Amino acid sequence: MSLLSQVVLITGASRGLGRAVARRLADDGASLVLAARNEPELAAAGRDLVESGLAPGQQVICMQVDVTCGEDVERLVDRALGLTGRLDVLVCNAGVYGPLGLLEDVAWEEWVDAIHINLMGTVLCCRGVVPAMRRQGAGKIILLSGGGATQPLPRLSAYAASKAAVVRFGETLAEEVKDAGIAVNVVAPGSLNTRLLAQVLEAGPERVGREFYDRAVRQSETGGTPLDIPADLIAFLASTASDGVTGRLLSAVWDDWRGLPALRDQLAGSDVYTLRRIVPEDRGWSMP
C-alpha cells in the first residue's frame, strides 16, 4: 500500500489516533501536512516523525488550525497544495466527545461546539479539498466516525448526533464526487484508549451512566483496540488498493476490509456498509 509521492492532510494529528495514522502513512512514503489546535503537541508529533527518519523528498509540515474556522482551513489546504501542487488524501480525524451528561443538564454552548468540531469541521475540510481533487481527477477522503453513528449513546448526545451526521454526509459526498475519481469513506476505529476514554473515566458514572462507565473501566484495564488496527484500515483506504471502494462505513475491528477489492462491483450496487433504515419486512415481520 505504497503512498510514495502522495501528499496527505491529517487533522487532529497531534496525539492518539491522528498521530498513529501519521506514523503509518509516513512509513508508507507519504508527505504529510499535520493539523491540530494544540501547537506544542503538534510540533512534538512532527519532530518525532522527522527524527525517526524520512525518505528523500518526503516532507512533514505542521500547522496549528481550528477546523471550524473557514480561513484556517483555507490556509491549511493552500499549504498542502504548496508542497507539490497536489493533495491526494484527506484524513478528517479531529473530533471531541463534547459534554457528558443528560441533554437537559449539559451546557448548550458545549453541545453546539461539539457539533461544530465533529461535523462542521469535517465538512469544511472536505469542502476545502474537493476542488483540487476534482482538478487532478483523483483523491481519497477518509472521515472518522465511531459507535455513536450506529447506536444510541445516552449522555453523549452531541457526539452521537454529530458522528451519525458525518456518516450520512460521507455517503452523500461520495455520490457527488464519484464521477471525479474521488473516493469518500468513513472509518469506525474501535474502542481506543485515548484522551476521550480518559474524559469518560474522569466524568464518572453519575454523568455518563453506570453501564457506559463500567465499559470504559474494562476497556482501560484491557488496553482497548490497538491504534495500529484503525491506522491499517486508513492506510488501505488512502492507497490505490482501495480504488473503487467509496461511500462506505467500515469498522476497523469487525469488518473484513482487506477483502473489499474483490467485492468492488457488488459493493457499487448495494447498501452494504451503509446507514439505512430497517423496516418490518427486513426482520420477517408480517404487519397487520
**Catalytic choice (97, 159, 213, 273):** 159
Query: For 58-209, where are the alpha helices, taking DSSP H only?
Result: 70-84, 108-115, 121-136, 157-177, 195-203, 205-208
**Is there a catalytic annotation at residue 159?**
yes
How many angstroms separate the CA atoms of 41 and 16, rounded?
Answer: 11
DSSP letter string over 217-265?
A: HHHHHH--S-THHHHHHHHHHHSGGGTT--S-EEETTTS-GGGGGGGHH
Site of grid cell 466527545? 97
Kindly state the cell numbers that stand for 81. Answer: 497544495
How many angstroms separate the CA atoms of 88 and 129, rounded?
Answer: 9
**What residues are labeled active site?**
159
